[in-house]
Structure 1
């Protein structure tokens, strides 16, 4: 019997949210080997027809499976099941993050306090040359993501350059040390394409505020950027409890 026919027999979502039910059913099919490693899943449209749900529900389910590391997306080509060695290769990073997750949340709390103000100061003092360098680093991050990498190094460099734009050496040193601490955790923050593209989009908004010399918008965009990362980490902690 084909995997598609087996999906048709799966139970319909009832009390749970639609995408959570789809996540469970697809997870079961993948772990049972109905969709083997390296196989492309049916399209969003096809899955929506199979489950008799909206494409939005399917999209949210695929996003959750990608966060769990079971699947990955190729832009313009669909969603694929990860190979076993790729899933296993994530375990050391995940284990390291688990050991330091509480500390990571504390670091994010600190970042949420200081980096929005740093962005606001940078909007006042940053030079055109520094803005051009920020644009170059953001383009580098975009290129790395397009090539299937997570863009973590460029992500860190982006934040350090903003701190350099404050003309305050102590702030630059502080941000540099903070991002040295969270460097490994970026493997978690940027572990799937949705989060990577989110990072680029929010970096773009921060950079636009800096280019416009708009301290309040720069502060707001940076705060929302870090607050979202914090929400991801807190969500992971809650799931473990």
Structure 2
């Protein structure tokens, strides 16, 4: 197990690769995600973002890199689905994930708690765990800083009703956060080229996560097919 300081140092100014495939996707398999993480490691990734305890267990057997863990769990009638309740947080802590990312938007949560109520309980229960706030707006990020999240992610900008018109990557949000908060900012969401990643780092961001552009061949193929139709 790494210390909090080790984990943050290992991903600073480096690349975290998101290795995820949902049940309806062709690569959905802990084994495949383990190989995907190994390929990312060989390519130079310094961290992995992964979904589900099964995938995380497998990835741990293939790479010795910090893992940002989530559990995507849909609760009927609610839009919040990235590690939405204490149940998912408990499962990730039990697995020993290095950092846990939580939806930190201001949307209604399936447990009926506010983010403040949930995270107050979480911090009391898991004092030594690193937590990342997946935010969609500047205001949500400020709230997450106030609550004591260890890192702030721009993960959900463009993916909520309030931000769906945003073009991604959200360079403006990244820049504003980097210039106004002291907590490490992790850029995530829509980074699809090396040039975009360089621009993100030029803004002074702490770290960045790239997913679909590296680990989703179906989406990448669709993107290329648009160019020939």
Tell me if TM exceeds 0.5: no
**TM-score normalised by L of structure 1:** 0.20
**TM-score normalised by L of structure 2:** 0.21
Where relative contact order (Cα < 8 A, 6+ residues apart) is larger, the structure is 1
